[in-house]
Structure 1
Amino acid sequence: MVIMSALFSFIFPPPSSLVVSGMSVISLVSLANAGFSEIRGKHLNYSKFWNANPSAEKQVKLSSKAGMLLLYTPAFLAGLASFWIFPHQGLRSTLLQSAVTLHFFKRVFEVVFIHKYSGAMLLDSAIPITLSYFLSTATMIYAQHLTQGLPEPPIDLLYPGIVLFVVGIIGNFYHHYLLSNLRGKGEKEYKIPKGGMFELVICPHYLFEIIEFYGFSFISQTLYAFSFTVGTTLYLLGRSYSTRKWYLSKFEDFPEHVKAIIPFVF
């Protein structure tokens, strides 16, 4: 009872919608399982792990650029459409819609203008990731819609959420930019990233993405937003662990002090 009372001090009451309640559980469990699978060596096949599966050569492949556009575009369009479907529902809802839409717009922008590519993406991995982003965006916005008319949580996290979102999206973009600068024109080989927080962790872009998602949760203050964010955190912890392990296996001079995602800790 004490835990539940503390929880409801900073989130809206759980929605009456069985769909949203079910999605809260599904998102948390599925993303956490994906994170543990990464640690066990069963990777989603994109980026440097695109061909980690022995059967990858026999599966349908997309170019990395096409695959990344497939991942982010439906979620971006869902965020954009939400302004028409749920217009003028108050400051909190508008800020959440804006933050989610801006997040995926940035990802599409990076795919087209920032990232440099070296591999491919398996369609079998692209489809579940695309669905996850699209459904999480739609569900997060719909869950916010269901809070209309409810009393605000006793502890207001809206403005801290804005700060976290801004820090997260800027930090994520900056480190994606540093990654893109590692390769010259026509180069495809991987290098040890340098600069920024790459001096401390190998996946600072994941760290700032987690910060960004906690920004979503603080702005939203719904059970679904927090469930999805915790699940995303667990997945990115697993993915960053595997990424550091990959760099250690490929580069003899990889600095041991550089952690996976949390400076000096993990």
Structure 2
Amino acid sequence: MTLETLNLISIIWALIGIASFVLLQYVTAPYGRHVKKGWGPEISNKLGWVIMEAPSFFIILYFYLSSNQSAYASILSLLWLVHYLNRTFIYPFRIRTKGKKMPLIIVGSAIFFNCMNAGLNGYFLAHFESYGLNSFYQWNFILGLLLFISGFFINQKSDHILIHLRKPGETNYKIPSGFLFKFVSCPNLFGELLQWTGYVIMAWNLPAFSFLIWTAANLIPRALGHHKWYQNHFDEYPKNRKAMIPGIW
């Protein structure tokens, strides 16, 4: 595959992501608190999380171990792996959602999504990256790394608060508070979007940009759906909270 072909596929993939964003304004993905019957067979949500996130970890790991990446590209691969190590093998076993299910159709679509994103980004880093040591001193690396670390911290801190809202054995939903929950309903999703924005600034290529488009296409409708759900289920839900971006939206 040539770089031109890879870039063309990335552009087409990004356009499909934009179309998905439009679709998700009308259809709420049925997992988590939005699960409902009628979406086919279901499996344990913990198992579903592992299965659907694993391709993103192992595909990037394969390209990282099987290619002679520069130091800069290696940092990009390792940042990706750190995120998906947590998302695949740690987060699913921290959540207190005993007995909850996830439709297989969600697992299958997420597998395809992760294979495409990891495949495009891993292939670029293995075959087409040309980062030099001077790349570490460029503005985009410094800014991107700061955003990635900040987003990762916000995501982890917010997830910790959400997980510990429930005592062991509890399954009911509660209003989260503290940290950025003072301002938005979904700081965990805001943190993840900030994190991958930083990654794209560091990577500065079309495969990474297409991944950011898909991340936004999934997370923004998700945040809006969560925000509306909180407002509909809790009369006392704070009126001044935004959905995802503090003070804005």
The aligned counterpart of 1:157 is: 140
Equivalences, count: 245
The aligned counterpart of 2:192 is: 209
The aligned counterpart of 1:7 is: none
The aligned counterpart of 1:82 is: 63
With CA pairs under 8 Å and 6+ residues apart, which has the higher RCO, 1 or 2? 1
Equivalent pair of 2:73/2:131 in contact (CA under 8 Å) = no
Q: Structure 1 residues 83 and 94 mapped into 2: Cα distance closer, same or farther (>3 Å)?
A: same
The aligned counterpart of 1:121 is: 102
Structure 1: state its 5+ residue gaps: 1-14
The aligned counterpart of 1:92 is: 72
Tell me the SS of whatever aligns to 1:185: coil
**How far did 1:112 drift?**
4.2
Q: Quick check: 158-167 or 175-184, which moved more?
A: 158-167
The aligned counterpart of 1:38 is: 24
| Matching of residues 172-191 of structure 1 within 5 Å | 172-191=155-174
Selected match of 2:123 from 142, 145, 164? 142
**How far did 1:93 drift?**
0.7
Mapped pair 1:105 → 2:88 = no
Tell me the SS of whatever aligns to 2:113: helix
Which one has a larger percent helix, Structure 1 or Structure 2? 2
> Could you list the per-position Cα deviations for residues 176-225 of structure 1 after superposition, in whole angstroms to 9, with x for gaps in the alignment?
11100000011001111111111111110111101111122122111121
Equivalent pair of 1:161/1:219 in contact (CA under 8 Å) = yes
Tell me the SS of whatever aligns to 2:246: coil
**How far did 1:265 drift?**
1.4
TM-score normalized with structure 1 length: 0.84
**How far did 1:63 drift?**
0.9
**How far did 1:116 drift?**
1.6
CA distance in 1, matches of 2:247, 2:8: 37
TM-score normalized with structure 2 length: 0.89
Q: Structure 1 residues 258 and 148 mapped into 2: Cα distance closer, same or farther (>3 Å)?
A: closer
Mapped pair 1:258 → 2:244 = no
Q: Quick check: 95-104 or 141-150, which moved more?
A: 141-150
Structure 2: state its 5+ residue gaps: none
Runs of 4+ in structure 1 over 4 Å off: 149-153
Equivalent pair of 1:28/1:230 in contact (CA under 8 Å) = yes
> Could you list the per-position Cα deviations for residues 220-251 of structure 1 after superposition, in whole angstroms to 9, with x for gaps in the alignment?
11112112213322331121111111111111
The aligned counterpart of 1:3 is: none
Equivalent pair of 1:74/1:134 in contact (CA under 8 Å) = yes
CA distance in 2, matches of 1:62, 1:162: 37
CA distance in 2, matches of 1:176, 1:225: 25
CA distance in 1, matches of 2:31, 2:129: 39
Selected match of 1:49 from 30, 34, 41? 34
Equivalent pair of 1:201/1:262 in contact (CA under 8 Å) = yes
Tell me the SS of whatever aligns to 1:179: helix
**How far did 1:136 drift?**
0.6
Equivalent pair of 2:53/2:110 in contact (CA under 8 Å) = no
**How far did 1:147 drift?**
3.2
Task: Please provide the CA RMSD for this pair.
Answer: 2.2
CA distance in 2, matches of 1:210, 1:239: 12
